[in-house]
Amino acid sequence: MHSRDAVFLEDFCPKLRVRRWRQSLHNFTNKNCIYCGKPSESIDHILPMSKGGLSITKNCVPACLACNGDKSNAEAFHWYRKQTFYDPRRAMALRAWMNGDLRLAIRLLEWANPDSEAKPSIKQSNGKDDQEWGFQAA
Ligand SMILES: [Zn+2]
């Protein structure tokens, strides 16, 4: 009964639905910018709206204002590769996100996140450094 009311309310009030959708995007990345890992303060269109990008989950990622503003209308991967905080794992996460594979994207982001609990165990298990992941950067 109540959930039906809620659905009705969302249909009736698209703004509420958009707000919830945006919130869910931020939750996917633990409220971190998908590019640099800082707190996400905005939603960035991977393909800019000015180039026909749609406001759908596959094309919208949480981003901090600095990244969002700096990227502007540039092609996302092209722009991202030039950043000092470029991380191949985040680039892979971005690709997975665009493919609609949010679970994979989230896993990659958790891995890339320095605060993540999962990272130390990976390091200990094979003793290799993250530098290895720079191989695709050039
Ligand atoms: Zn950022």
Measured in Å, residue 69 CA sits from the centre of ligand 1 at 9
Domain containing residue 24? 2-136
Residue by residue, DSSP assigns 26-40 as HHHTTTB-TTT-SBP
Residues 35-68: tens digit of each pLDDT: 999 999 999 999 999 999 999 999 999 999 999 9
Per-residue pLDDT band at 129 (split at 50, 70, 90): very low
What is the pLDDT, as a whole number, of residue 63?
Answer: 97
Q: Are 111 and 117 in contact (CB under 8 A)?
A: no
Measured in Å, residue 71 CA sits from the centre of ligand 1 at 10
Q: Are 77 and 86 in contact (CB under 8 A)?
A: no
Structure-block tokens of residue 66: 């600095």
What domain count does the chain have?
A: 1
Integer angstrom CA distances of residue 20 from 44, 87, 92, 101: 16, 29, 26, 20
Measured in Å, residue 48 CA sits from the centre of ligand 1 at 16
> pTM value?
0.74
